[in-house]
Structure 1
């Protein structure tokens, strides 16, 4: 009887978090990952302990904290308040899109691409609630922007941080190395953004909340966010998560319970599946027979492999076979475009959009941009 009650209680918690069989069935990314997991396990079986160690739990806990803080800021209604003021200042869709793209890219150079998305995508969603903005298109461009902007600095994304530490370069030297590619990518992106968004006037289709911002909740969220970033920046992901979750559980429990728990499950599965693919003996045998000490070869391998196992695992895997840090850094930066799996930031942005259509529309923009980025990276890498 006790076990039955415990199981029933656990099921109630799972259902309250939105993790249901029906929700899983409707999530194509999770279904693909589950199929990939079955295939990798068939090819190269791993024990439960080995599967557990594949997951970067520090990243998962950091993502949990970001989801909680973002939900708290959303519940404070501050983003709706800010969105109204932005629309009053930028009543032109093109100018607003350019502002958001530049802001996202700039933020990603210092706060990493995923943190930048957690700031700009909820704001974009707030804008769409009060004005007829093409929100799916804007979110796609924000995903491209954080991938382009984050390529500039070691702090911009996990693969840059890893390669910077492996290379022994100074911070400034790494920025100088990546500046030509990052600036070229941003120039192309801004030109495409200019063409993709018309200079049409934007009008409020609803006023939204104007006097009910919950300023105490917003202020608490900002304080917690500052502490969270400081702890996460020093590699203290679990403590950063606790700092975000514990106070909000006490004062605003729904900020914790209403986050996207399926996104966390997707990230866990991505670590398990993608690192499983990266560790397949067949793949390692192929890499061992490729001359990755040639710069252009390393570049193309990094960009191509990122389309299969994402750019962070690609950087970690290829660093075992090559010391061509500039080529690897350029390759994994370019590899963040193309397929959504190329960068975990893509999955975060598309997931936050809560639209099934956006997954297909993203690739209509991202794959051509990937082709352009490949050419730019190849030319700049060859000129070094």
Structure 2
């Protein structure tokens, strides 16, 4: 438990969110009984399960084996980066952006054991890739699930609506990846014998991963989480101790802060005026709100005022780029990177990506309309 307490004490993002909540509490109009419902507990349970399962795979040592194979398979930084970015985008289209990161980021981190690679930059691009790839399908990310469930489009219809934006952003990201990673040979470290890994823990983690994903689709997340926690409690208690518990508290604090922000009396006239906005105003508002409160809460708020149009769908997905809060996937990826400098380096790529996406997205919308 001291490990968990040290993590909580050092988490500056959590401290900032708690301070913001304390400031907003006396200013917002709400009832204390409403605060627990402000948290999306399904999301919290999902993240908890994914954190446990990823840590189980990591502790099994199999990521070391796979990382060593990747380091041997790819000869140049550029080709490895292009492969990882494509894998992140592809996985995010059907496994959701969060799950894709939970699979790929730990694998990416193991690459530093076998080679000299710009690991933090690679993780930044994986975060950008899941934002670009996940927007294509209705199950790629939470905001798309919300938009699709509130609309009338079929799955193929939704994909057709998002395909032009997805194509432009993926082409842009591939070009940016090509430019940002040189074609120089990967410098590998000397390896001492075959990589050791714990096969039973790996197999159980993979099996539980499949069960958990199926349970998410069947709306049985709570039971699946109990199963995962119980198995690791019996088999590998170190998994439960070593996951990033403070990340879960960060998400809880974010949900409560967003709830309080939405209930500030000074902002209510602005929320009421949303229904009067034209397409351009809605486009800018959705992107701007996403930068402040993240694109999922922004989608929830805006769907109360406007229908789930293509303008809204494109805007909240574009809003995942830019500032760190734009997408919760950004926070997950950078937390897992375990690099203090990655937080500001992320914006060197994400902010230009936001500006370019906004421009291309609006021009495409004007052309399609």
Partner residue in 2 for 1:54: 38
| Contact 1:293/1:322 (<8 A) preserved | no
Q: Distance in 2 between matches of 1:142 and 1:223?
A: 25
**Match runs of 1:361-380 below 5 Å:** 361-380=345-364
| Contact 1:298/1:322 (<8 A) preserved | no
Q: Distance in 2 between matches of 1:241 and 1:105?
A: 26
Partner residue in 2 for 1:29: 13
Give the secondary-structure state (helix, strand or coil) at the position aligned to 1:321: coil
Q: Does 1:222 align with 2:203?
A: no
Which residue, 91, 102, 105 being the options, matches 2:89?
105
For normalisation by structure 2, the TM-score amounts to 0.96
Q: Return the structure number with greater relative CO, CA threshold 8 A, min gap 6.
A: 2
Partner residue in 2 for 1:5: none
| Contact 1:59/1:237 (<8 A) preserved | no
Q: Distance in 2 between matches of 1:296 and 1:113?
A: 27
Partner residue in 2 for 1:19: 5
Partner residue in 1 for 2:63: 79
Give the secondary-structure state (helix, strand or coil) at the position aligned to 1:198: coil
| Contact 2:60/2:202 (<8 A) preserved | yes
Aligned Cα root-mean-square deviation (Å): 1.6
**Match runs of 1:39-188 below 5 Å:** 39-44=23-28, 46-188=30-172
State how many pairs are aligned.
Answer: 368
Q: Distance in 2 between matches of 1:206 and 1:45?
A: 61
Superposition deviation, residue 291 in structure 1: 4.5
- Write out per-residue CA displacement over residues 80-136 of structure 1, whole angstroms, 9 at most, x where no aligned residue: 101111111112111000000000000000011000000000010011221111011
Q: Distance in 2 between matches of 1:106 and 1:279?
A: 38
Q: Does 1:258 align with 2:242?
A: yes
**CA shift in 2, pair 1:78/1:59, >3 Å:** same
Superposition deviation, residue 294 in structure 1: 2.6
Consecutive unaligned residues in structure 1, runs of 5 or more? 1-12
| Contact 1:294/1:324 (<8 A) preserved | no
**CA shift in 2, pair 1:101/1:68, >3 Å:** same
- Write out per-residue CA displacement over residues 331-364 of structure 1, whole angstroms, 9 at most, x where no aligned residue: 1000001111010000000100112111111111
Q: Distance in 2 between matches of 1:111 and 1:86?
A: 22
Q: Distance in 2 between matches of 1:115 and 1:47?
A: 34
Partner residue in 2 for 1:283: 267
Q: Distance in 2 between matches of 1:286 and 1:107?
A: 38
Superposition deviation, residue 277 in structure 1: 1.5
Partner residue in 2 for 1:4: none
Superposition deviation, residue 43 in structure 1: 1.5
| Contact 1:158/1:312 (<8 A) preserved | yes
Q: Distance in 1 between matches of 2:331 and 2:322?
A: 12
Give the secondary-structure state (helix, strand or coil) at the position aligned to 2:305: coil
Q: Distance in 1 between matches of 2:48 and 2:192?
A: 28
Superposition deviation, residue 273 in structure 1: 0.8
Q: Distance in 1 between matches of 2:265 and 2:359?
A: 31
Which residue, 174, 177, 186 being the options, matches 1:190?
174
Consecutive unaligned residues in structure 2, runs of 5 or more? none
Partner residue in 2 for 1:268: 252
